[in-house]
Amino acid sequence: MPASPHPVSPIQLFERRPDMGAKAMARLLGTYLRALRESRGLTPAAVGSHIRAHASKISRMETAHVSLKVRDVEDLLDLYGVDDQERAEIAALVQRSAQPDWWQPYGEVVPEWLQQLIGLERDAHVIRTYETQFVPGLLQTPAYARAVVLSGHRFAPADEVARRVELRLERQRRMWEPGAPVLWALIDEGVLHRPVGGPEVMREQLRHLLDVLRQPGIRLQIASYAASAEATPGAAVTYLRFAQGFLPDVVYLEHMTSAVYLDRLEDLDRYRAALDELSALAATPAASRVMLEEALQRYR
């Protein structure tokens, strides 16, 4: 069987997006390393033995779940027969991927399993999210965000709560910058009936969602009880869609103390289909406005 073509170098993609974050850079490099390995017909186990590492480390490098080290990457590039010029360029990108990202000053309130989402979301082309318990974090008001943080960290010190809220608001701010991704949010109807923070907080939050409906670059739909009963991904989900040829899409599933990132094509297809079906059944933006206005009246 003839060898697969040499994968596109991440240098070309970096030149198109020189402002990409460190996490996106690490994932870009990992995708490139995986494509190189597969083009040479090698397994992670075979490659791991070459750099004195377990196969699981190779997989973590290729999915950006472990920090890349220049020495390890250079060993792999040797094995894959990459020329000297490309090796030097890749080594420079590996060093760039290790640079502190904007969110790292908040490291004390960012668990390891959340870091990849925060690091990748700004580089996405479209963010699709479905929330069943709360308003999506990227659309929360400060008071609502504080109530959500307190619900999960009841005994946290006040300064820790403030830092968590501050981080959430900074993530939002970056979503309003030029070139930010489109946000397509599906919110379960039950969220409108859940008095997070009390009536005053809910009134402010619902007014904010009504304002959001007028914003370009944001599509907001309310999934009625009937819609979510007929079609649902099963739980809250965030789907990061990247520009074609940039990065593989990623599905993010959050649990109480951990998260799962999926990028296998079969998983992406299933979650994309589930979100497509639910969005087709959910209220249109215009009908969602009516539902939000009715909910607002209930909190007066």
Residues 72-122 have pLDDT tens digits of 999 999 999 999 999 999 999 999 898 888 999 999 999 989 999 999 999
Domain boundaries, the chain: 10-97, 108-298
Q: How confident is the model at residue 5 (pLDDT cuts 50, 70, 90)?
A: low
SS3 per-residue string spanning the chain: CCCCCCCCCHHHHHHHCCCCCHHHHHHHHHHHHHHHHHHCCCCHHHHHHHCCCCHHHHHHHHCCCCCCCHHHHHHHHHHHCCCHHHHHHHHHHHHHHCCCCCCHHHHHHCCHHHHHHHHHHCCCCEEEEEECCCCCHHHCCHHHHHHHHHHHCCCCCHHHHHHHHHHHHHHHHHCCCCCCCEEEEEEECHHHHCCCCCHHHHHHHHHHHHHHCCCCCEEEEEECHHHHHHCCCCCCEEEEECCCCCCCCEEEEECCCCEEEECCHHHHHHHHHHHHHHHHHCCCHHHHHHHHHHHHHHCC
pTM: 0.89
Q: Mean pLDDT throughout 6-24?
A: 76
Give the whole-angstrom CA distance, residue 126 versus residue 120. 11
Q: What is the pLDDT of residues 142-152, one digit of tens each?
A: 999 999 999 99
**To which CATH superfamily is domain 10-97 assigned?**
lambda repressor-like DNA-binding domains (1.10.260.40)
pLDDT at position 15 over 80: no
Report the CATH number of the 108-298 domain.
3.30.870
Mean pLDDT estimate for the chain: 92
